Amino acid sequence: MESIIESLEKFGLTRYEAKAYIGMTNIISGKAEEIAKASEIPRSKIYDTLRQLDKKGFITITHTRPLKYHVVPPSEIFKMKKEELIKELENSEEKLDEIYNDQISEIQAPVWLIKTSENIINKEIEIIKRARKSINMRIGFLLEGEGEALIKAFKELPRGIPIRILATPECYINGEKLEIIKMFRDANLDNMEIIETDIKFVKIVIRDGKELFRTIVKFTGEEKSVLPETSVGVQNRYANICQNFDERFLNQFNKLKNKENKENKENKENKKK
């Protein structure tokens, strides 16, 4: 009983309000005197306690004479409160992240080196999850399992965050062919645009124009197959550098997009003829 009272107090209830709500779950509905008895609350306190529970959404009141009080099911209460708590935490995270990102550009941020494919992929996902405005990527190759991890992270982003990708059609990992463009298009994300271009040997993630992550790797053989064990990631938070890369990316992306749209339009007109 005490642990339940403590849980309800975390939802903003006083001790009397928590006890009254617990008592009401035993009788479902009743008059004030009945609830006071079931909850072991003094009658002098019960009316104000029930009024507060009604304001907080834990009970409803039927305005008869005398008043009758009805408990809102615990499943509804806990679902509502969990949603409120999650929203509150997400809002706090977003505000704190904005403060953090604004301040980090004010200091002399170092460049971090990340080694091993697993650590590189994890760092990319971490960066993507911090996105609030945009994710822009150049993908000339992928590491093993990286495409699936990126798509999963993209799906968890709010749909209002645009994802723009310039990518080469395919790459090879340890001799195995991977179709990059097809993989991302098959994800069917309405906030993601992907344009084909020849950028082999390049992979960059740019987050909100404030954070940049570049992966360097060695290639082998005629097909220039990726050697994952040689990969090194470079994380950069210098504001001027990140913004410069982001602007260059957007210029190239928009030019290629306009060119692609023009070609598609011409193809449609030729088909009509």
Residue 77 in domain: no
The reported pLDDT for the residue numbered 109 is 53
Q: Are 226 and 171 in contact (CB under 8 A)?
A: yes
Distance of CA 236 to the CA centre of its chain: 22
Q: pLDDT class for 83, splitting at 50, 70, 90?
A: confident
Both 175 and 61 in a single domain? no
Provide mean pLDDT across the span 174-184. Answer: 92
Is the model's pLDDT at 237 over the cut of 80? yes
Instruction: Check whether residue 48 and residue 130 sit in a common domain.
Output: no
| Residues 135, 50 share a domain | no
Same domain, 151 and 67: no
Q: What one-letter code names the amino acid at 7?
A: S
Let me know if residue 251 belongs to a domain: yes
Residue 103 lies in a domain: no
**In CATH, what number is assigned to the domain containing residue 27?**
1.10.10.10
Instruction: Enumerate long-range contacts of 97-105, CB under 8 Å, 24 or more apart.
Output: 97/130, 97/132, 98/132, 101/130, 101/208, 101/210, 101/211, 104/210, 104/237, 105/210, 105/237, 105/239
Domain count, the chain: 2
Q: What is the dihedral of CA 194, 199, 200, 203, to 10 degrees?
A: -70
What proportion of the chain, given as a percentage, has pLDDT over 70? Answer: 94
Q: Which residues span the domain enclosing 182?
A: 109-272
- Looking at the structure, do residues 16 and 133 belong to the same domain, yes or no? no
Residues 126 and 188 in one domain: yes
Q: H-type helices in the chain, by residue range?
A: 2-10, 15-27, 32-39, 43-55, 74-104, 117-129, 146-156, 180-185, 239-272
CA 216 vs CA 81, 142, 161, 221: distances in Å = 46, 11, 27, 17
Q: Quick one: 62 and 186 in the same domain?
A: no
Q: 81 lies in a domain? A: no
Distances (CA, A) of 184 to 33, 132, 196, 205: 64, 21, 11, 15
Segment 51-68, tens digit of pLDDT: 999 999 999 999 888 899
Q: Are 56 and 181 found together in one domain?
A: no
217: domain CATH number is: 3.30.870.10
At residue 175, the pLDDT reads 81
